[in-house]
């Protein structure tokens, strides 16, 4: 058994924690464009999945899309 076995275990648990923390932060950030799009009357789930993979494009699209919740009358 290596002499620095505890250091190896500690390093692995730290790396696992950082990975999980990164994924949680990624998911919370992806909620932003989904929430904006939902407030404009678009699908929350669609924009959430879109922002998970293409976050910059999802943010731009969420702010540019037409507002369906308050239709403009002519």
- Segment 12-44, tens digit of pLDDT: 788 888 888 999 999 999 999 999 999 999 999
Average pLDDT on 5-14 reads: 65
pLDDT at 35: 95
pLDDT at 33: 95
pLDDT at 68: 85
Collapsing DSSP to helix, strand or coil, 34 comes out as helix
Both tokens of residue 42? 């678009």
Both tokens of residue 47? 């924009």
């Amino acid at each position: 058994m290596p002499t620095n076995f505890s250091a190896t275990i500690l390093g692995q648990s730290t790396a696992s924690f950082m990975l999980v923390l990164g994924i949680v932060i990624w998911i919370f950030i992806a909620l932003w464009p989904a929430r904006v799009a939902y407030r404009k009357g678009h699908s929350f789930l669609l924009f959430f999945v879109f922002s998970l993979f293409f976050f910059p494009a999802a943010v731009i699209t969420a702010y540019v899309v037409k507002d369906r919740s308050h239709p403009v009358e002519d």
